[in-house]
Amino acid sequence: MVLPSASPPAHPGEQPAAPPPNDDRPPWPVWIAPAGLVLGFMLASIGTIVVDAIAHAGGSSLSNPSPAANIISDIVFDLCFVGAALWLTSRRGRPRVADFGYRWVTPVTGIAAVVLGAIGYYGVTAIYAVVVKTNQTDKLPSDLGVTHSTAALVAASLFVCAIAPMAEEFFFRGFLFGTLRNLPLRIGRYDVASWVAAVVTGLLFGLAHLGSAPAVYLVPLAFLGFVLCLIRWRTRSLYPCMALHSANNALALGVNQLGWSVPEIGGLILASWLVIGVITGPLGARVQQRA
């Protein structure tokens, strides 16, 4: 595991400061981060073209794809970035799930991280909404046909509230943020790589939603990406990040698009967490067993 380099001794004979014992930076070179972005985008673009071509052959319009085509295309898009990260990290040896942040945390730690992250994010977003006066809605749910049929609603909810949070947290917080934390950045004796990595990852996370979300929402989304990086950093786990990301998407879908009641949105959040837990929980269990 790559640990931050110690500061040079201030005086001859002085021992350098020991690295933090809980530093969990992955053993990957920094260049893998931009390589993952480029490769992921290339694979995602090709995958989207293939899906659109197949859908068009089945009767879907290229200019106005069907909800099914949009859902499949979005899933393929996200999975291509996951595949790019896995392929690149595997070139350095078999990647460990712990390096991506699949570590169980105590309920108290997880709940506290989600609550504090939500307070910070929604507090800043509320101020931003007042200053900028945002009144546009995300067009992604409508593209996925959430109001067209029950099947489309279920499929779109599964993607927006479970698949997307799992894939995006894996790539942005598990791979990209973790890798960028290996940047050799120090101010005096202080290692600031994690802060810089959080800012850069947050900005890229916001830009990743360009096209699916109105431009006015890219700033709050970038801030959400930054907050999620801080959660990943402080808890050393991806699970609170996926939980908050999923809950935020469920709120956006239930409130802005569907006008659901509080119990209905709560049910969507719990169902999404259950899906995420079933799929990714065993990964954290493997780390727990080896500890």
The tens-digit pLDDT sequence of the chain (291 residues) is 333 433 344 444 443 343 454 578 999 999 999 999 999 999 999 999 999 899 888 887 777 777 788 889 999 999 999 999 999 999 888 889 999 999 999 999 999 999 999 999 999 999 998 888 776 666 566 666 666 677 778 888 999 999 999 999 999 999 999 999 999 999 988 999 999 999 999 999 999 988 777 788 899 999 999 999 999 999 999 999 999 999 999 998 888 777 889 999 999 999 999 999 999 999 987 665 555
Tokens 């201030």 belong to which residue? Answer: 10
Distance in angstroms (rounded) separating the CA atoms of residues 290 and 166:
23
Q: Tell me the backbone φ, ψ of residue 215, rounded to 5 degrees.
A: -55, -30
Distance in angstroms (rounded) separating the CA atoms of residues 52 and 39:
20
Q: pLDDT at position 5, please? A: 39
Numbers of helices and strands, H then E, in the chain: 11, 2
Q: pLDDT at position 215, please? A: 81
Q: pLDDT at position 14, please? A: 42
Instruction: State both tokens at 235.
Output: 């808890």
183 class by beta-carbon count within 10 Å (0-12 exposed, 13-18 middle, 19+ buried) = middle
End-to-end CA distance of the chain: 15
Q: pLDDT at position 6, please? A: 38
* Residues 6+ positions from 96 with CB-CB distance below 8 Å: none
Q: Collapse the DSSP code of 93 into the 3-class scheme (helix H, G, I; strand E, B; otherwise coil) and give the result.
A: strand
